[in-house]
Structure 1
């Protein structure tokens, strides 16, 4: 069953956003150049359904030109000292900071994000570049010494070479920063394919930093994944390919990369369980799910989308959660108090609505929300599905929208088993006041990040990445620079 009274409407700004658009073309060899094809892709504001601009639909030839530029630049860039590369990353951070409003407005217009999310994205991107600038100068490795008699060993940490990067649509500039900063900090050059839906802030970044980064170190090719992404993945001169995206996209990248036996770095999907024990602070847990389940409209791979709550407190928790979610403000970019915005595209909007139709067909209870909100724009009500039985499709399928499900458990062992029964292994959270449980349960959860009494708190110094179907490799932290490096052992015979 569903609620019949509409609780949600879309707040809209009085004036439309007027973003500063980047130049038209592919960014190759330090400048914007024409694509080898005249075909273009419409870039749509999902909150208004209006076309903002067009970008080139890139080709194999465009990718080849970009890779050639990256190859030509890699030796000189790798030869720079960590201090020199760090200075470039700090300059990029300063440029983003100086143009914060430009990036926030452009990101919001291209994605439908509310102001708070766009502001956080830009702040986090700045911090990512500044952290990587420091980490690039602070590598640690095994000390040089004699590990065999009369032989002295030295470990060199080297760039891998040219890195192909594929970024998603949910955090366009931030996910670009998560890759660009450590890739450059480790001494590599790169070719980046942004999502064909949300390339504008990445292209604007290229425009603004072009004079600060040596030509060919950063190259950007726009276009569809089946063409641009596939060519990057299979290209013989690309030494590593890194993607943030869906499990299906990651599988395609890994398969294409296998032909040249190149390394891959996969940050893929998630279905984060939120395990609420009977002794938890239920109000805090409900507020935590409100924030972490609906941040960026739930279009977040670590979102708190699947609540497992102890049966003794399930009714009380669900009541608190429904109250919290009923108070969420939905708004278009430019409205200061909006918590969630639109879905990214018409196609994704229809996918989320189809998932909600399946929920109804399964006979589940939609406690709040569950419907589209009248347009224009691709807005969906924040939704709570309650009393979900074990094994229901919604407990395992990544909806990637403003939808949270609630199911119950009886024992700690059942909670752990059920939380782990998913193909994903990216993130989870545990809510309890019991200090022993707070130490033991996270160790038994098969996820790359586990929060205790919070969810979706990210620190640039700490690694982000998953297990199982969520991929492998780590973003953020010094581990990211490790992932974009290779080690070489040189042994000197002193005998």
Structure 2
């Protein structure tokens, strides 16, 4: 056991002690509460499936109370000057940085993500708050549109209380990415975290309690079938932002239909990484490995389909196999770990099931394809560990090429021509992201135009740029996050037309 791992484990246990010794509840109208009519459940760490403490799954009454609190606080928060909201959100960011060590270690234990990826989580979350904080004073700004005898101008107003539903894969980061622009716009928030990873959401609520007026931020733990359903149906909630599975998005759209809620969905993906013969071999190899095996493959923008041109296929696959074999699987707090345990046994078993599906469909399991049952210096086989896996000799019609596995599993498919690469890339119900590796500028431009995805990276892994639009098409989502696109979602645009008094007004009924 390395000194760093031992230190991480010790500090994590100190931070987690309070969760283990109490029941984690909700934050409603400025108060921490266990609510009424809920039920307790155990929150397990995927590192060894032991308990991190009990969590209270809220009731419909708890969600009603949260939505009503957000509604009551909305007018005051929406009318708070943007400059004041800016100060408060910067203060929130400061507190995130102060608690960075706690957030990283708790998150890593709660969801199984390796600490190497979580150690900057608070800093990145703070960056989300600072970016949107700085935009808060200008959020209501619109356009001036001049005509000969009229002047039109637009302005924006916060839409109202909003529901934010976040997933379990990188829960802290995605919560800040959704909630920060909502608050900057002047909306109040009801947050329903994923039931499998509730702890960082509780830390966020603690910071909200220190920084924000009561009722502006509310958080209710629980399950989709009760509190999630009520959040999406409640008449006080004017918009719902979800990060989750495509099936969940369809479900929520149906639930919100009666109240005509605005919806923003960031959903699933089966994203292609397309490597042409002329690609920079080593950089492309690095990016292919990183974009599927980092974050345990539990990333919506993971490039889970490798489309490799036939001219370099054998060489690339040989090098890729060795890299996958070399990946270090271990405890999430071990600084040497590159792939940690999957978030929950149900999801773990789902991913394991694709190994049999691959064999049945005729693919080759070139690397991996097994659960890990032997302990090492940091890995407890009671946890949700599996071998990073590479499928080869696959076709795009196989389930492993069409369904979102959401684990450290890559499916490799070969192609010959640019036209075939486009066809394969687009032959999926998803359209979140894509990655193109080529040194041919014309080809890069053609591919960027033809590949069906909301986001494309050329000769790069997933590079995050806060002002840029983030979101997918087809079954991968509706709407965009980032920059002014976030305000378009969280705010209503109003047009005002003012006459200059010179135009002829039509007349009727004069005699």
TM-score, with structure 1 as normaliser: 0.95
8 Å CA contact 2:341–2:383 kept in 1: the answer is: yes
Give the Cα separation in 2 of the matches to 1:390 and 1:463. 29
Q: What's the CA shift for 1:355?
A: 1.1
Equivalent residues of 1:103, 1:122 under 8 A apart: yes
Match of 1:179, SS state, is helix
| Match of residue 292 from structure 1 | 291
Matches within 5 A, 1:33-432: 33-139=33-139, 142-147=142-147, 149=149, 151-374=150-373, 375-432=381-438
Tell which has more relative contact order, 1 or 2 (C-alpha 8 A, sep 6+). Answer: 1
Structure 1 residue 226: Cα displacement: 0.7
**Equivalent of 2:498 in 461, 478, 492:** 492
Structure 1 residue 121: Cα displacement: 2.6
Q: Distance in 1 between matches of 2:120 and 2:245?
A: 23
Q: Deviations over 1:271-318 (max 9, x none)?
A: 110111111122221211111111110001100110011112111110
Partner residue, 1:443: 449
Aligned mates of 1:278, 1:141 — CA distance in 2: 48
Q: What does the per-residue CA deviation read over 1:12-50, in whole Å, with 9 as the maximum and x for residues that have no partner? A: 944463134467321001110221124112111101111
Q: Is the 8 A contact 1:24 1:32 kept in 2?
A: no
Aligned-pair Cα RMSD in Å:
1.7
Aligned residues, how many?
484
Structure 2 gap segments, 5+ residues each: 374-380, 502-511
Q: Within 1, Cα distance between the matches of 2:102 and 2:179?
A: 20
Determine the structure 2 residue equivalent to 1:6.
Answer: none
What's the counterpart of residue 29 of structure 2?
A: 29
C-alpha distance in 1 between matches for 2:4 and 2:60: 41
User: What CA distance in whole angstroms lies between the structure 2 residues aligned with 1:405 and 1:476?
Assistant: 30
Matches of 2:313 and 2:54, distance apart in 1: 49
Query: CA contact under 8 A between 1:41 and 1:196: conserved in structure 2?
Result: no
- The 3-state SS of whatever aligns with 2:347 is helix
Deviation per CA, 1:73-117, whole angstroms, max 9, x where unpaired? 000000011111111111111100001011011101101111111
Deviation at 1:142, TM superposition (A): 4.8
Q: Tell me if the contact between 2:112 and 2:332 (Cα under 8 Å) persists in the aligned partners.
A: yes
Larger radius of gyration: 2
| Bigger shift: residues 139-148 or 378-387 | 139-148
Which of residues 471, 492, 507 in structure 2 aligns to 1:465? 471
Partner Cα distance (1:122, 1:369) in 2 = 33
- CA 1:64–1:116: 2 relative to 1, 3 Å: same
CA distance in 1, matches of 2:459, 2:156: 38
Q: CA deviation at 1:208?
A: 2.6
The answer to whether the 8 Å contact 2:128/2:180 transfers is yes
Tell me if the contact between 2:272 and 2:304 (Cα under 8 Å) persists in the aligned partners. Answer: yes
TM-score (norm 2): 0.92
User: Whose helix fraction is larger, Structure 1's or Structure 2's?
Assistant: 2
C-alpha separation in 2, matches of 1:154 and 1:490: 5
The answer on whether the counterparts of 2:294 and 2:339 sit within 8 Å (CA) in structure 1 is yes
Deviations 1:98-148 (A, max 9, x none): 010110111011011111111133222111111111122344855335436
Q: Distance in 2 between matches of 1:152 and 1:457?
A: 41
